[in-house]
């Protein structure tokens, strides 16, 4: 009798859920399974080892055929049923980076059109009420399509085709896990504005955490949307959700720009990425490689354009902190902590209408001031507030 040999390692991933990451490798002899440890750098198909079910089964083409690692064995629901679905239970909750689906190679490619991918932890309505990741359209026979799910969290992955007299068939499904979103969604603390507003579809709707409320501009030239993060950050990625009910192509060609300038309403800042072929309701995560900026713009260049989207999330690696560096030429002993405290606690009578840099230079001619950071004009107040970052001190000459 063959014994099960295995070894496993629990990884220290920055996730809320502690999970054992294992990938099964099937062998022909005895059909036993070995388990190997997964390193943090590997992309893991967590569909392997999961449990599948579908709404019905036609011709004996069962649900587990989609995860048997063969792209030529396919699933098949009964002929012409209403809202046919397929579901994968991952047996634990993961942050899903993307789902890869392979269409049937020999016929009936159009049957997959309109299929929706849902991810979540609920089994309400067989899991089909969970959050939608994307919609499939125009998938050719035998084609594999990768759908970004932007680290959506869930145990269940559903594929459903809404409508009557439908057939669902898929030949391979892979589910790749990502990492938990790092830090907070900075867009939630920001302020949104757009070039124009159609009816009541205001800019703030993209920040209200609801995927069913969307922004819409008027039909104009170069429509844009902007969120002010109220501070400068290194932006790691921007996640955009397309409108789910109609008008799928309106977001095609949309550019994401990030920076600290408001020249041309911020649309001249560095471009992070471009959105194309985003399906109805699809969530797209765009890597921005730590571009620095306070403003995140989305603009569609061209005439007679409409910009509409339903959710925008912005994630960063760290905040850019501004500070003043001052070199003192003073008769005081600046190595004395008490003297440094006196300097910081000094509250000069400053003219609030003057630029802070000019006021300090005018008042303290022996100070060599140098600014770093976002370059914003600092708020009027005590020197202790102005010197909130780094103070380089030198002993008196």
Shared domain for 190 and 147, answered yes or no, is no
Burial class (CB in 10 A: 0-12, 13-18, 19+), 33: middle
Domain that holds residue 356: 323-386
User: Within a domain: residue 17?
Assistant: no
Last residue of a domain, one of 126, 159, 177: 177
User: Within a domain: residue 225?
Assistant: yes
Shared domain for 229 and 332, answered yes or no, is no
User: Within a domain: residue 35?
Assistant: no
Distance in Å from the first CA to the final CA of the chain: 86
pTM recorded for the entire structure: 0.48
CATH label of the domain that carries residue 104: 2.60.120.260
Shared domain for 145 and 100, answered yes or no, is yes
Shared domain for 309 and 268, answered yes or no, is yes
Q: Quick one: pLDDT band at residue 351, thresholds 50, 70, 90?
A: very low
Shared domain for 170 and 71, answered yes or no, is yes
In 3D space, the residue among 332, 259, 337 whose CA is nearest the CA of residue 291 turns out to be 259
pLDDT at 331: 62
Shared domain for 256 and 329, answered yes or no, is no
User: Within a domain: residue 252?
Assistant: yes
Whose tokens are 């921005």? That residue is 288
Helix H or strand E segment including 341: helix 337-345
Return all residues near 156 (Cβ < 8 A) that are at least 6 apart. Answer: 87, 88, 89, 90, 118, 119, 120, 121, 122, 123, 127, 130
Shared domain for 69 and 122, answered yes or no, is yes
State how many domains the chain has.
3
Shared domain for 306 and 335, answered yes or no, is no
What does the pLDDT look like over 247-280, one tens digit per residue?
Answer: 888 888 999 999 999 999 999 999 998 898 888 8
User: Within a domain: residue 106?
Assistant: yes
Return all residues near 295 (Cβ < 8 A) that are at least 6 apart. Answer: 226, 227, 228, 229, 257, 258, 259, 260, 261, 262, 266, 269
Q: Quick one: pLDDT band at residue 333, thresholds 50, 70, 90?
A: low
Shared domain for 261 and 336, answered yes or no, is no
User: Within a domain: residue 5?
Assistant: no
């Amino acid at each position: 009798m063959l014994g099960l040999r295995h070894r496993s390692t629990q990884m220290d991933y920055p996730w809320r859920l502690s999970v054992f990451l294992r990938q099964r490798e099937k062998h022909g002899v005895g059909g036993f399974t070995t388990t190997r440890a997964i390193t943090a750098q590997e992309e893991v198909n967590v569909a392997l080892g999961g449990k599948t079910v579908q709404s019905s089964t036609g011709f004996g083409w069962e649900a587990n055929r989609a995860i048997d690692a063969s792209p030529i064995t396919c699933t098949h629901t009964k002929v012409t049923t209403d809202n046919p679905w397929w579901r994968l239970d991952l047996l634990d909750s993961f942050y899903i980076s993307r789902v890869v689906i392979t269409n049937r190679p020999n016929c009936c490619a159009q049957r997959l059109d309109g299929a929706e991918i849902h991810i979540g932890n609920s089994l309400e309505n067989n899991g089909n009420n969970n959050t939608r990741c994307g919609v499939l359209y125009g998938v050719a026979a035998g084609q594999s399509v990768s759908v970004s799910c932007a680290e959506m969290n869930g145990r269940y992955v559903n594929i459903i085709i809404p409508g009557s007299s439908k057939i669902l068939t898929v030949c391979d499904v892979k589910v790749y896990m990502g990492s938990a979103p790092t830090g907070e969604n900075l867009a939630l603390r920001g302020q949104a504005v757009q070039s124009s507003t159609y009816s009541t579809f205001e800019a703030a709707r993209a920040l209200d955490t609801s995927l069913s409320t969307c922004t819409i501009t008027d039909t104009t030239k170069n429509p844009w949307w902007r969120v002010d993060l109220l501070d400068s950050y290194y932006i790691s990625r921007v996640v955009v959700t397309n409108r789910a009910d109609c008008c799928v192509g309106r977001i095609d060609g949309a550019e994401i720009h990030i920076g600290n300038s408001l020249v041309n309403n911020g649309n001249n800042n560095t471009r992070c990425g471009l959105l194309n072929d985003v399906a109805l309701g699809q969530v797209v995560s765009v890597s921005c490689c730590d571009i620095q900026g306070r403003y995140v713009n989305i603009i569609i260049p061209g005439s007679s354009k409409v910009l509409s989207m339903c959710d925008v999330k912005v994630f960063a690696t760290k905040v850019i902190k501004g500070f003043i560096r001052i070199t003192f030429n003073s008769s005081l002993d600046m190595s004395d902590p008490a003297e440094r405290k006196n300097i910081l606690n000094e509250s000069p009578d400053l003219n609030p209408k003057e630029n802070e840099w000019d006021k300090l230079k005018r008042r303290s001619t022996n100070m060599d001031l140098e600014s770093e950071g976002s370059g914003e004009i600092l708020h009027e107040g005590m020197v202790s507030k102005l010197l909130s970052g780094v103070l380089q001190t030198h002993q008196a000459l």
